């Protein structure tokens, strides 16, 4: 009742030819007589023969698998990146193996070693919080030294030489802040994270730069550094009471949504009294009430580009092609938490 997978050997025995003949016949080598080819092909079709991927991988030294290592899958941004990677990779005949580092350095290292041991042809990854904090990238080094292509996206590091794709986070912070300043806002609160996140750091930089360009100076009292992991609404609430901002800029989506809600609960009207801008063009912002103006990071596009970069390296011999960093332009999506 269990019909095990059919192999070349089965076909060969059944048809009383050799394994090599079957293999060649299936690939239509004209070294094999037309008769035999047709017989073999018919038989193979009948029994729905498909070559074993594992054997192919071993032989060809390529798996047609891409390893994707991300810190987190619950955040919409990463989800859209995966979506983009899948999209492109599947079209090129690659499978995507997703592993989660769960923001932990150790899990990142373990998963990476696991996958690097033959399971995948190349990596696409975004650094875990643990890795960004620790600044230890030996595992990445290891992999690239072994000749396994690596593409970093979003959370990247300058300490390693490889293909990268990011958005211009400084510009993103700048655009958002500029938008608020142009609305006439002057007390712009910034909800941000620990500084070891490259993206937050850059967005903060953009914020500062915009203030400077408008002849204002940075008031660190207006900046609130929150733990990335769990959002403490009380802290945000107290902060907003203290600062009494006329605008709130958040470096991610969740902080922005929380800020919005807390402001509303204080009886403030958004955007009449306070404007709010968040990051990531996610569901949260889209379905908020009022819907959240935000900076789109183009996750899907980022994923597609990362996959393209990786597959290009895998398929063409690009050993001598220098590594590229592709920088996407962020886009301001104006919705209802800012004034049009």
Partner DNA sequence: AAGGGTCACGAAAACGGTTTCGTGTTGAAA
Partner DNA sequence: TTTCAACACGAAACCGTTTTCGTGACCCTT
Q: How many residues bind a copy of itself (CB under 8 A)?
A: 53
Residue 119 engages DNA in binding (rule: CB under 7 A) = no
CB of 300 to a copy of itself, least distance (A): 10
Of 13, 14, 20, 315, which one interacts with DNA (CB under 7 A)? 20
Among DNA, a copy of itself, none, residue 224 binds (CB under 5-8 Å by kind): none
Among DNA, a copy of itself, none, residue 32 binds (CB under 5-8 Å by kind): DNA
Q: Which is nearest to 114 in space by CA: 69, 164, 161?
A: 69
Residue 272 engages a copy of itself in binding (rule: CB under 8 A) = no
Concatenated DSSP letters of 95-109: EEEEEE-TT-HHHHH
Q: Identify residues 23-82 at the interface with DNA (CB under 7 A).
A: 23-24, 26-27, 30-33, 35-36, 49, 51-52, 54-56, 58-61
Residue 146 engages DNA in binding (rule: CB under 7 A) = no
Please tell me whether residue 22 adopts helix, strand or coil conformation. Answer: helix
Cα Rg, the chain, nearest whole Å:
26
Residue 117 engages a copy of itself in binding (rule: CB under 8 A) = yes
Of 92, 261, 301, 324, which one interacts with a copy of itself (CB under 8 A)? 261
Residue 58 engages a copy of itself in binding (rule: CB under 8 A) = yes
Q: Identify residues 138-157 at the interface with a copy of itself (CB under 8 A).
A: 145-147
Q: Which is nearest to 15 in space by CA: 87, 163, 35?
A: 35
Contact 256, 285 (CB under 8 A): yes
How far apart CA 117 and CA 60 sit, in angstroms, is 15
Q: For residue 196, count CB atoms less than 10 angstroms from its CB and return exposed for 0-12, middle for 13-18, buried for 19 or more.
A: middle
Beta strands in 104-185 (DSSP E): 122-125, 150-153, 163-167
Contact 131, 103 (CB under 8 A): no
Among a copy of itself, DNA, none, residue 91 binds (CB under 5-8 Å by kind): none
Among a copy of itself, DNA, none, residue 3 binds (CB under 5-8 Å by kind): a copy of itself
How far apart CA 82 and CA 303 sit, in angstroms, is 6
Do strands 293-296 and 331-333 pair parallel, antiparallel, or not at all (unpaired)?
antiparallel
Concatenated DSSP letters of 288-314: SSSPPEEEE--HHHHHHHHHHHHHHHH
Among a copy of itself, DNA, none, residue 129 binds (CB under 5-8 Å by kind): none
**Residue 115 or 156: which CB sits closer to a copy of itself?**
115
**Residue 101 or 193: which CB sits closer to a copy of itself?**
101
Do strands 122-125 and 163-167 pair parallel, antiparallel, or not at all (unpaired)?
unpaired
Residue 111 engages a copy of itself in binding (rule: CB under 8 A) = yes
Please tell me whether residue 270 adopts helix, strand or coil conformation. Answer: coil
**Residue 55 or 327: which CB sits closer to a copy of itself?**
55
Residue 125 engages DNA in binding (rule: CB under 7 A) = no
Q: Which is nearest to 324 in space by CA: 84, 153, 90?
A: 153
Residue 5 engages a copy of itself in binding (rule: CB under 8 A) = yes
Contact 274, 246 (CB under 8 A): yes
Q: What residue ranges bind a copy of itself (CB under 8 A)? A: 1-5, 50-55, 57-58, 63, 65, 73-74, 76, 79-80, 82-83, 86, 90, 95-100, 107, 111, 113-115, 117-119, 145-147, 254, 257-258, 260-261, 264-265, 283-284, 287-289
Q: What residue ranges bind DNA (CB under 7 A)? A: 5, 7-9, 16-21, 23-24, 26-27, 30-33, 35-36, 49, 51-52, 54-56, 58-61
């Amino acid at each position: 009742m269990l019909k095990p997978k059919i192999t070349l050997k089965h076909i060969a025995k059944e048809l009383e030819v050799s394994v090599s003949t079957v293999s060649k016949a299936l690939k239509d080598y004209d070294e094999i007589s037309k008769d035999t080819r047709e017989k073999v092909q018919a038989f193979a079709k009948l029994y729905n023969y498909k070559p074993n991927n594992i054997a192919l991988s071993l032989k060809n030294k390529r798996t047609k698998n891409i390893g994707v290592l991300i810190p987190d899958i619950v955040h919409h941004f990463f989800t859209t990146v995966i979506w983009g990677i899948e999209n492109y990779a599947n079209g090129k005949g690659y499978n995507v193996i997703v592993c989660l580092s769960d923001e932990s350095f150790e899990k990142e290292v373990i998963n990476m070693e696991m996958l690097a041991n033959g399971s995948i042809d190349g990596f696409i990854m975004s650094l875990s919080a643990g890795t960004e904090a620790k600044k230890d990238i030996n595992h990445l080094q290891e992999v690239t030294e072994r000749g396994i292509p690596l593409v970093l996206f979003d959370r990247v590091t300058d300490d390693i030489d490889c293909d990268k794709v990011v958005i211009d986070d400084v510009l993103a912070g700048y655009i958002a802040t500029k938008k608020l300043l142009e609305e006439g806002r002057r007390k712009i609160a910034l909800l941000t994270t620990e500084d070891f996140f490259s993206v937050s750091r850059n967005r903060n930089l953009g914020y500062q730069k915009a203030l400077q360009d408008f002849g204002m100076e940075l008031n660190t009292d207006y900046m609130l550094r929150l733990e990335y992991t769990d959002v403490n609404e009380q802290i945000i609430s107290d902060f907003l009471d203290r600062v009494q901002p006329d605008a709130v800029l958040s470096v991610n989506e969740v902080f922005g949504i929380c800020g919005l809600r807390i402001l509303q609960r204080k009886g403030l009207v958004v955007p009449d009294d306070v404007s709010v801008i968040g990051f990531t063009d996610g569901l949260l912002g889209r379905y908020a009430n009022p819907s959240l103006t935000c900076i789109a990071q183009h996750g899907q596009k980022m994923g597609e580009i990362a996959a393209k970069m990786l597959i290009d390296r895998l398929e063409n011999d690009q050993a001598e092609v220098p590594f590229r960093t592709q920088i996407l332009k962020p886009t301001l999506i104006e919705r209802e938490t800012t004034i049009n």
